[in-house]
A and B are shown apart, each in its own frame.
Chain A
Amino acid sequence: MNSSVIIFPGSNCDRDMDVALKKFGFKNKMVWHNDTELPKSDLVVLPGGFSYGDYLRCGSMASKSKIIESVIKFANSGGLLMGICNGFQILTETELLPGALLRNKYSEFICKNVFIKINSTENSYFKNIKKNILELHIAHNEGNFFCSSDQMKNINDNNQIAVSYCNRDGEVNDDSNPNGAIKNIAGIFNKQKNILGMMPHPERMIDTYLSGDDGSVFFENLITNLR
C-alpha cells in the first residue's frame, strides 16, 4: 500500500505519521507543499502541526498551497484522504469537509489523552476495527468543531460523524467534551466517507511503552481494510 504525507511549512507531526504508516506496512512518501503532482497513493495524509504559522486562520493558507489541487482531485476521484488535527482544519478550509474548527471553548491549549467513540464502521477507516472506543492524544488550540444548522442536518442525514469525544465507558456527554465541539464531534467524514478529518492523533499512540496502542489498532485495521 502506498501512502503520501504532505509537508507544509510548520507541519510538525509529518515525521510521526511517516513512522506510524511505515510501521504498519505502508510504503510512505513525503510530499512538499510546493509540489504539484502526488505520487501514486492509496492514502494521502495531511498531518498535524501549525501550517504557515496558523496565519489568518488555522489551515487557511495551506488550503491554497500548490499541492492542494492534486489532493482535491485525488479525493474527488474516491482516494482515501485523512487529515489529523491541523490536517482536519485544512480539510474544512478547502471545503472538502463541512464546518470549521473554532478556538477551544475555554481559551486554553489542550494537550492530553482523550477517549473517542467510533460512530460509523461502514467505511475504509473503521470497518472491522476491534475496539469501538479508542484512547488517543489531542493537542490543539482550535479543535472546537462548529457548523451551520444546515450543515449539521446534512452531517446527521448522511451519518458523517466519524468519532465523538466520550468517557472511558463510551458515554458521550459534556464532561467528556474537551473543547466545546458541537455534539462532542472529534472527527467527521465527507458524504462518501473517503475523506476523514479528526483532531485526535493516532500516530502518537503506536508504542506500548511510550503511549499506548490504540493508534496501532487504528493503523493495523486501516491497512488490513486497504489490502
Chain B
Amino acid sequence: MKISAIVTLKKDVLDPQGKVVHQALNGMGFSSVKEVRQGKYFEIEIDENDKKKAEEKAEDMCKKLLANLVIEDYKIIGSQ
C-alpha cells in the first residue's frame, strides 16, 4: 500500500524559503500571489494491505521522524 503524507511548517513558524519563492513568483509577473509556504511530500510504500493499519504506521513515522512537531504539522493525504 502506498501512503502519501505532507509535512508543513506550523503557521506561526517563519518560512524564509517560501518567502523567497513568493518574491520570485511576484518578480516573474505572478503578481496575484499573496503567500507561499513550502513543505515536504512523502510517498511511503508499506507492506500492509489493511488501509487503517498502514495509515497508523505512517502516522507513527511522521511523529517519530518525518516531522519535527515543535515546528511542523503533518497530514496523511492519501492511501492506495
Across the interface, B71 reaches (CB within 8 A) one of A102, A105, A107, A180, namely: A102
Q: Are B68's CB and A100's CB within 8 A?
A: yes
Q: Are A180's CB and B14's CB within 8 A?
A: yes
Cβ-closest chain A residue relative to B40: A56
Interface residues of A in 82-101 (CB under 8 A from B): 92-93, 98-100
Q: Are B16's CB and A106's CB within 8 A?
A: yes
- Classify chain B's interface size: 10 to 19
CA distance A103 to B19 in the complex (A): 12
10 A/B residue pairs, CB under 8 Å, sorted by A: A60-B68, A92-B70, A103-B14, A103-B17, A105-B14, A107-B20, A146-B13, A146-B14, A146-B70, A180-B14
Question: Is B33 positioned at the interface, with any CB of A under 8 Å from its CB?
Answer: no
Question: Is A121 positioned at the interface, with any CB of B under 8 Å from its CB?
Answer: no
Known: A56-B65, A100-B71, A146-B14. 10 other contacts (CB 8 A): A60-B65, A64-B65, A99-B70, A100-B68, A103-B14, A106-B16, A107-B17, A144-B14, A148-B70, A180-B14
